[in-house]
Each structure stands twice: as structure tokens, then as C-alpha cells.
Amino acid sequence: MKITDVKVIPVNRFLYVKVFTDEGITGLGESGAWGFLDASAEAVNSFKSYLIGKDPLQIEHHWQYMYRSFHFRGAAIMGAISAVDIALWDIAGKYFNVPTYMLLGGKSRDKIRTYYHVHGETTEELVANCVKAKEQGFNAIGHLSPFLDEPRSTPYFQPYVKMINEAVERVRIIREAVGDDVDLCLELHRRMKPGEAIAFSKAVEKYHPFFLEDPLTPDNFDSMALVASKSNVPIATGERIHSIQEFEMLLSRNAMSYARTSVCLCGGISGTKKIAAIAEAHGVPIVPHNPLSPVSTAACIQIATAVDNLAIQELPDHNTISATERFTSTDAIEEVKFKQRDMVTWVPSVTDGFIEVPVQAGIGIDLVEDAEEKFPYKRREVNTRLHMDGSIVDQ
């Protein structure tokens, strides 16, 4: 079996890669380069000349070749490698007529616990969405910002004491609204400095969050380790890094209690499997990062099924618009009739907060016919939030 073509397929706010073979088997993958999908697409086109004519089952060799060929890396390149890698694992599963996770060692579990995305621009909206998630059967909720999901067009300012106290008060209200039957995965969106994060962690720990996600920007591993050493609430981080060495450096510093592996950014299924093994050696579970489309979800499920050290799987709402629009737009977005699930042939169903492990060959999903024409691609605009004084705010 040989690769005959590699096609980049931009759809809506997402970037897909489809790999074709001379035996009629195709594989589908997704890039998680987020705001740099166009650059990621060009990286795929660079790798295309190497891939055509190769055996698609030599996945590890192709991964190493792409990763090491140009001596440089970054989000756009790693998103491209991830998309190709996922597509090759999809082909392998279809070739052997088994779900991809069977090629990764088989099932470690029969169903996968998930946490559901919630959001809100006001306390009332956020609490209502948390209650709604519980009513839908979820026993964990995430992408839950105690600082609210305010539009990026709104200048930011809060005194320190108000910032901490109001955020903690929201967590209290949410905890009382959903009770102890629901875990709260708090998303801090890298908006705090180390001292602020330590203070917030101490103030909020009495409400027992499952974890604090990305309290700081990911640039300084020692700073994240400092926060982790002072926090009684577990720290989850890693979604914005994309090499096994970076994860090892964080793990060796005890800077994470949960490893947030971005399957569509950290090297695909191959890269995530390696990171999961390193994390397992440190006694750390993984929480696969998944703010993308149902294709990303399908790839994440393969890892979540196969590895032993899974804590929980992030699950965005595929019945609505992309996370890019919902969480990074300039103004509040009117959720139109578009649904992510309309782009694809399958999305997982959730019962009591768990996804049953699928049995389809490969990663079990494909794009609908003419998805590129039916759901035209939209480049993400360059847009970040400003402080009241005009400086940059991390959110």
C-alpha cells in the first residue's frame, strides 16, 4: 500500500488533512494550530512531497522524518505533523479493520469519562450553564472560567482584591448550585502571575476544584513549578506545548498534576502516546486537550481508550459553533444554526457523563461530502484583549 495524495481541507474554523492510498483507504486528521491554520496547511504541503509514494503503515518513521527533517518546529509545524499522524493511524486501523486503539495496545477501559464545556459572560449565565450540564448528565464541567468569558473588545480592569474575591465567590455559587456530584475543572486562561495564582489557589481550595488549568503563561516552567508547589489544588497544564521534552521538563519539576496533551498539536496520536508514557512514569494522569472539532474528539478517544493513566477527556459541545468563535471573538457571538456535527459522519453520544468506547475501524469518523464547500473556511482574526491602560491582557 502506498500514499497517492495528501489533501489539505479547510472547513469552517478547522483544518483537516486527508491522506489517500492506492488501495482506496483514506485517513483523516486535524491540525490544532488554532490561529495559525493557514501556516499549518503550508507545512502539510511541504511534507506532501515526502509522503507520496511511501507506505502509510510506517507511522513512527514518518513521524521522525517530518519532525527532524527541517531542524525547526513550532505550533504550525507540529499541527501539520499531528494531522498527518492522526490520518496515518486512521488508515492503519482501517487496513487491519480494527479501531485505532487496538493498535495502541487495546482497551484500557470500556467507557471514557468526559467533562463538558461551559461558558458565561455573567455570573448568572455561567451558573445556569453549569446547572444545565448537570441536568444533561455530566458529572464534570470544564472550560469553566471563574473570571467569566467576557468579550475581548471589553477593556479589562479589576483591583486585585476584587479579582480574587469575585472569582472565588463564583466558584462558591457554582459549587452550591451543582453540589458534590459534579467536579469543577477551573480554566484560568493563563491570566495570572505566580503570586496571584498561589493566592487564588489558597482561597478557592475549600470548594475542591478538580484542577486549576493554566494559571500562568506556559513560557516559564520554573514559575509553573513554583505555583504547583504552593497550591493544594492540582495544576493542569501543557495544552500549548508540543514536544515530549517539554512535558518531561514540566513533569521533572513537579509542575503538573495533570498533563494536558493537545493531540492535534503535540505530534498526533504518536506524540500523545509518548507523552502519556512519560507522564505515567511520574504518576501523572493525562487530560487530553480538545477545544476543536469532532475529528479531534475521535482522535482523542483512541488515546483515552488505550492508555491507563487517563483522568478525564475534555468534550466540547459539537452541537454548536467552534470554540474559536465562542471564546476568542471580539464581541458576543450569536450562535447560528451551524453545528459542528453537521460537518462529519459521526459524533460520540454521552450517557451519565461517559462515552462508550466506539468500535468503528480507524478513528471512526469522516467529513461529509463537499464539507469544504458547504462550510466555507474562515480565518481567525488577530484579536486579543487590552487592559484599561492599553497593555495586553492574557485571556
Q: Which of 82, 9, 11, 80 is closest to 42 using CA atoms?
A: 80
Q: What angle, rounded to 10 degrees, do the helices at 160-178 and 123-135 form?
A: 30
Catalytic choice (62, 117, 289, 318): 289
Per the annotation, the verdict on 289 as an active-site residue is: yes
Q: How far apart are CA 81 and CA 340, in angstroms?
A: 23
113 three-class SS: strand
Q: List C-alpha distances in Å: 323 to 94, 118, 165, 180.
A: 30, 11, 27, 27
Catalytic choice (117, 143, 189, 242): 189
Q: Which of 267, 215, 221 is closest to 74 using CA atoms?
A: 267
Task: Write the DSSP symbol of residue 223.
Answer: H
What sign for the dihedral angle of Cα 236, 134, 111, 358? negative
DSSP string over 119-140: --SSHHHHHHHHHHHHHTT-SE
Per the annotation, the verdict on 318 as an active-site residue is: no
Residue 363 has phi, psi (to 5 degrees) of -90, -5
Residue 201 amino acid letter:
S
**Residues taking part in catalysis:** 189, 289
